[in-house]
A and B are shown apart, each in its own frame.
Chain A
Amino acid sequence: MIPRYQTVLFVVLLVASAAMGVALWQLRERAHQRLLSSQDSTPTQAPEVAPAEPATIYVANDTDGSLLAQVQQLPLPKDPGARARAVLGKLLDLYAAPDAGHPVPGGANSIAQVFLMQAENLDGATGKGGSGGVSSPTQSPATTDPMQMGPELAIVNLTGAFAAGHPSGIETETLTVMSICGTLHATLPRVTEVRFLVDGQLRATLAGHADLTRTYLATEAMPTEGAR
């Protein structure tokens, strides 16, 4: 026979452990919620839409081998790399349009990244025909005084799908390269040199003709040639 005081003690202990279990469960739930709220990526502020501003884009035409400057109103980000990517995206969207004078499939998604870096830091890597590597990208504008920045090299990383789908030919490939160089220089005048990568790797040619191993001078793209 169990004494009465032991039964009462057992019941009290059982109730206490149940209460402690419930309290612990609630504490755990609160901690979990706190953790989730710190990782929440839901925007708390509406995204800021940059005001549209004029951007010069050099649009190629296969019929006469020309580059024509067009001024488009585009919402451009402040960050130079993102800005370069935005204008090049617009350029390639024009080429992907059904009635394009320089038809190239792919569109804006064909530009994987655009890196900008100081041209003078790349001695030995930017020589004509050189195949040297690249150093780290330029610092963000927040940490660099734009007035002190010199000529820049833009590294345009194209997607493999874009290169694979690009029409083959000296004229069409040259026009694509030149229009990208000219558009970059028109948008970011400090960009004086341009290099190309495909899926982050050096590639010999764009689609069998235009040399992608060399550094292009952005000013080369100014349409002085191409007359009929």
Chain B
Amino acid sequence: MRWIKKSIWRRRVVWALAAVFAVAGSGRSSGPIGAKAVAQATPRPVAAAAAPTAPGTRFVVVLDAAHGGDDPGGRLNGQSEEAFTLAMGVRLRSLLAARGIQVVTTRESDSTVDLVRRAEMANHANAQVCLSLHGTESGSGVHLYVSNLAPAQPARIAPWKTAQAAWVTRSLALAGTLNSALLQAGMTVTLGRTSLPGVDSMTCPAVAVELAPERAPGKKVTAELDDPGYQARAAEALAAALVEWRGEAPQP
């Protein structure tokens, strides 16, 4: 009889421990996504969309220098897109830091960072601005692209691939602020909507900024992408726009 009671008692202890681990596991899955979770199935919920930042809190900007490592991106007048975006990111980070803005970068060197990891870093930063920096030889001036997801109400749990939907309205407002600043700096700006895998998963006002050579009306290039003056003008205008954006209430 005693050994039967002992085995029942042991079984209860095992079940209790299993229940504790199960509760801990479910609690983790509803929180911000960890790096290990990212390596699993791709359509996953994200909880940060439901956490609008209160006014008066720290102002964080995420700079995502696109491509890098195994993904060099396009070829831009002899240099790779990955090198160009990194250079632009460093330039913009310096300008923002000088204005007292906290900056989080998704990469600091020529390293491979996948799109899921980039979005995860942006979401963990709880940023008020997420800029994805790109470069291209096509078109003219600066292209500002916002996710083309339909605007949605913030939910406690948002699908990973469409997490940006709750922030699209704010992203469009941010694109408007960037547009004004770039136009003031005398740059040509094209606004558009698109579907970008990394940006669509970000839970912050997010805009993809793509810099192209500046062209005269006859398509003649007046400023190349590797022109330091042109890069500086674009970076200054973006920094000025973000300073202006800081003055607005960062609500989704």
Residues of A within 8 A of B (CB): 62-65, 103, 128-129, 167-172, 174, 204-205, 207-211, 213-214, 216, 220, 225-228
Which of B73, B138, B188, B195 is A208 in contact with, Cβ under 8 Å?
B73
On chain B, the residues within 8 Å of A169 by CB distance are 74, 134-139, 143, 210, 212
| B residues 131-173 in Cβ contact with A at 8 Å | 134-140, 143, 145, 148-149, 159, 161-162
A-B contact pairs, 5 of them (CB 8 A): A63-B219, A129-B161, A167-B74, A171-B136, A227-B191
**Is B210 a contact partner of A228 (Cβ separation < 8 A)?**
no
Interface size on B, residues (CB 8 A): 37
On chain A, the residues within 8 Å of B120 by CB distance are none
Name which residue of chain B comes closest to A216, CB basis.
B195
Give bound CA distance, A220 to B136, whole Å.
23
**Is B197 a contact partner of A63 (Cβ separation < 8 A)?**
no
Determine how close the nearest CB of chain B comes to the CB of A193; give it in whole angstroms: 14
On chain A, the residues within 8 Å of B197 by CB distance are 204-205, 211, 213
Number of A-B contacts (CB under 8 A): 99
On chain B, the residues within 8 Å of A205 by CB distance are 197
**Is B189 a contact partner of A171 (Cβ separation < 8 A)?**
no
Which of A207, A211, A228 is B74 in contact with, Cβ under 8 Å?
A207
Determine how close the nearest CB of chain B comes to the CB of A88; give it in whole angstroms: 20
Which of A129, A170, A204 is B143 in contact with, Cβ under 8 Å?
A170
Give bound CA distance, A205 to B199, whole Å.
14
On chain B, the residues within 8 Å of A214 by CB distance are 195
**Is B74 a contact partner of A168 (Cβ separation < 8 A)?**
yes
Sample of 16 further A-B pairs with CB below 8 A, known A62-B138, A168-B136? A65-B191, A128-B149, A128-B161, A129-B43, A167-B137, A168-B73, A170-B134, A170-B194, A171-B145, A171-B190, A171-B210, A209-B194, A209-B196, A211-B200, A225-B191, A226-B192
On chain A, the residues within 8 Å of B194 by CB distance are 170, 174, 209-210
Determine how close the nearest CB of chain B comes to the CB of A213; give it in whole angstroms: 7
Which of B74, B134, B137, B192 is A225 in contact with, Cβ under 8 Å?
B192
**Is A174 a contact partner of B212 (Cβ separation < 8 A)?**
no
**Is B190 a contact partner of A170 (Cβ separation < 8 A)?**
no
Give bound CA distance, A128 to B164, whole Å.
13
On chain A, the residues within 8 Å of B135 by CB distance are 169
B236 within 8 A of A: no
On chain A, the residues within 8 Å of B137 by CB distance are 167, 169
B118 within 8 A of A: no
**Is B208 a contact partner of A170 (Cβ separation < 8 A)?**
yes
**Is A226 a contact partner of B162 (Cβ separation < 8 A)?**
no
**Is A172 a contact partner of B191 (Cβ separation < 8 A)?**
no
Nearest 7 CB-CB pairs, A to B?
A168-B74, A169-B136, A129-B161, A65-B190, A172-B138, A211-B195, A174-B194
B107 within 8 A of A: no
Determine how close the nearest CB of chain A comes to the CB of B136; give it in whole angstroms: 3
| B residues 193-220 in Cβ contact with A at 8 Å | 193-197, 200, 208, 210, 212, 215, 219
